[in-house]
Amino acid sequence: MKRTIFDQDHDDFRSSVRAFIAKHISPNLERWDSEGLIDREAWKAAGEAGLLGIAVPSEFGGGDNPDFRFRMVQMEEFARVGANSFNAGTSVQDDLVIPYLADLGTQDQNSRWLPALCDGTAIGALALTEPGAGSDLQGIRTTATRDGVDWVLQGSKIFITNGILADVVIVLAKTAPESGARGMSLFIIPSNTPGFRRGRKLEKLGLRSNDTAELFFDDLRVPSDSLLGVEGRGFVHVMERLPRERMSIAATAVAAAMAAFEWTRGYCFERHAFGQAIGNFQATRFTLAEIATDLDAGISFLDRAALLLNDGELSAVDAAKAKYWLSDIHNKIVDRCLQLHGGYGFMLEYPIARAYADARILPIFGGTNEIMKEIIGRDIAAHAESN
């Protein structure tokens, strides 16, 4: 499929991303998977290469370019070499943590954290999920109570991407538990704060080298200027930023599906059985045809949504549709691609096996796809009732 969404600037950027990956990422992928952790040096190298904080204003050390297509280029190039764990970590940094700070932070907060997040000397995490509250954020139990001019946090979080390496964590806590969704606030928590404790580095099915952790806050005391945004509007702040997060997941899904198809197409015409390339069997050709068509539809869907995001016109419902459908189609494509690899597809030395394991989280990330369907369904019902 010929894509018209990218121009020469994006193509030039793609070349620089490929050079960065060849030098700093590809040689380390197997070791990182084995160790279960990505070197901090890779983050610093990404910052030096201008791959972090692309949308951040230049006064805070960023690229001053909010065009989401540059992020899409990165995701495609990371997926092309199977660097899904590094993509997951940098997506949290660039599509979650940095936008929260850039949109909601004070001048002092942004001056302190954004330059370090952009140059890779600081790694960020977003701590929303708790053991008893995943997609239902209103069920969180972490609290922040005033004590003089300070806030004191108590509670825990789970499944926090970048949790082991994070230097700064944005935490959602209840500041007025009796007020429900209107009683939540966001806080900027440096990880060296007394009372901040990391739990286990969690063992996952996929994204093996991306660090995912439990976090604990034990009488964690922070000053009043640690509040991010408006007190009591933490839940609203999160809801307002979910479309960007879900677009990041959708773009990751398409990038990974594209990579899986390219690996599989090559394999099918290199691998021979019964005297010919397996790609010449009708059953294989039909499967490849189905994958190619699904992929073209997915790319078109994503590209349209990306342009809407750039124009500030992507609705929460549209983002939910993109996240749900594209992550589902990604899993469907990767499953078919693994099948075409036969027994080799089950071997971790082949990238399709790792991609298969990495794919499964995307329908869960950022709100499960069942929640996405509920968001879409409620919108349909609301419009039906108003007509």
Task: Give the active site residues.
Answer: 245
Does residue 125 sit in helix, strand or coil? Answer: strand
Answer yes or no: are the C-beta atoms of 144 and 175 closer than 8 Å: yes
First-residue to last-residue Cα distance in the chain = 39
Residue 133 DSSP symbol = B
| Entry field: residues in the chain | 387
The structure tokens listed for 355 are 């991609």
Torsion region of 232: left, alpha or beta (phi above 0 gives left; psi -120 to 50 gives alpha): left
Answer yes or no: are the C-beta atoms of 45 and 26 closer than 8 Å: no
Residue 354: which H helix or E strand, with range?
helix 351-359
β-strands 124-127, 168-174: how paired?
A: parallel
Cα 384 to Cα 231: distance, rounded to the nearest angstrom: 35
CA–CA distance from 346 to each of 235, 282, 337, 343, 356 (Å)?
Answer: 42, 23, 11, 6, 9
Cα 247 to Cα 309: distance, rounded to the nearest angstrom: 8
